[in-house]
Amino acid sequence: MFRFEQPIFLNLLFLLPLLLVLYWLYHRWKSGVAAKFGERLVIAQLMPDISPARAHVKFFLFLLTATGVLLALANPQVGSKIEKAQRKGVDIVVALDVSNSMLAQDIQPSRIERARQSIARLIDELENDRIGIIVFAGKAYTQLPITTDYAAAKMMLGTVRPDLVPVQGTAIGQAIDMAMASFRDDKTGKAIIIITDGENHDEEAVEKAAEAAKAGIKIYTIGMGLAEGAPIPIFKDGQMVGFKKDQAGVTVITRLDETMLTKIAEAGNGIYVRASNTQAGVRKVFEEISKMEKTTFDAMNFSDYEDRFQYFVGLAVLLMVINFLLNERRSKWADRISLFHPAKNLKK
């Protein structure tokens, strides 16, 4: 396992290309000033000891030294010891609707964006629980298998968008089936959180919820959207260009199907919560899940890390010494082996 203990210092690496551009501009300005005094070969005769190439090499060594220092400050570490830790929690699978209707903006900034924010807050509150993510529209797909790696969960959550599933629809039943298959054993407490507007649902969703309840899995549903509904925006190159229309040219209004989501939650021995512009319902669902009996399970963790910053410190010091010893002026020794010394060539 490899990691940086202080990754914030890596952001400073983006300054190095800027320094390179500034150096190029400075060198270009310096060459322009020198050109005003005469031809390049004449200037070379007047200043025979000056070596522009060495100035370039010294600056390149400076960039490498700065890179080594920043990497040392970030402190690369290698996991050297794995231990089996016991945790006590529940397994949670979040099934998120990514159909186009989730782009509606009756809940600000949009249904799907509010859903992502809510899941992120849920992840922040997890301690010893495991979480998985399933996305669905007309079909369901596993976005993240059940894990205790909350950082990975947030990273994968950031990639969720409506075009992940090309087939439109709301395959809640298939999402429940996939979530049931995701759970690893029969001992841990299990919960499925379905976040959707419920529109265009499949008919087997309630039956699948009942099957899950028989297997000891609780299902909670969160309805994203308002009763009055909203049009579905159409985006092109990141800009909204209009709203979805039917064949008759009438703007399509997507409305929350609370009746169906309530039936699914009741069949799954859970609860239904409707999101709004003030709250997204995850808090209430999480409080219900926290009441579930927690089960002890094993988790593999890296318990010890070895620092590797010293290698980059040594490299930076070595480069710094070389840079210090390297003079911008030509040495007599280097001058003897120069094959293209301007002054000598002119004399010939």
CB 177 within 8 A of CB 208: yes
120-127: long-range pairs with CB below 8 Å, 24+: 120/154, 120/157, 121/282, 122/94, 122/193, 122/282, 122/286, 123/150, 123/153, 123/154, 123/157, 124/150, 125/286, 126/89, 126/92, 126/150, 127/89
CB 309 within 8 A of CB 316: no
| Rounded CA separation 196/221 (Å) | 8
Q: What is the dihedral of CA 44, 46, 47, 52, to 10 degrees?
A: -20
**What would the mean pLDDT of 319-323 be, rounded to a whole number?**
88
Query: Strand (E) positions, the chain?
Result: 2-4, 76-97, 130-136, 140-147, 189-196, 217-223, 230-231, 233-236, 239-243, 253-254, 272-274, 295-307
CATH entry, 84-300, from 3.30.200.20, 1.10.540.10, 3.40.50.410, 3.10.28.10: 3.40.50.410
pLDDT at 88: 74
Q: What is the pLDDT of residues 20-60, one digit of tens each?
A: 999 889 878 877 766 666 566 655 555 555 566 778 888 89
Which residues, in sequence order, are bridge partners of residue 219?
192
Cβ neighbour number for residue 135 with a 10 Å cutoff: 25
Give the CB-side neighbour count of residue 247, counting CA atoms within 13 A: 0
Query: Strand (E) positions, 167-229?
Result: 189-196, 217-223
Q: What is the pLDDT of residues 179-209, one digit of tens each?
A: 999 987 667 789 999 999 887 666 789 999 9
Q: Taking the complete model, does pTM exceed 0.95, yes or no?
A: no
Q: Helix, strand, or coil here: 228? A: coil
Where exactly are the structural domains of the chain? 2-75+308-347, 84-300
In terms of phi and psi (left: phi > 0; alpha: psi -120 to 50; beta: otherwise), the region of 169 is: left
The separation between CA 241 and the C-alpha centre of its own chain, rounded to angstroms, equals 28
Q: What is the pLDDT of residues 245-266, one digit of tens each?
A: 888 889 989 888 899 999 999 9
Q: Helix, strand, or coil here: 218? A: strand
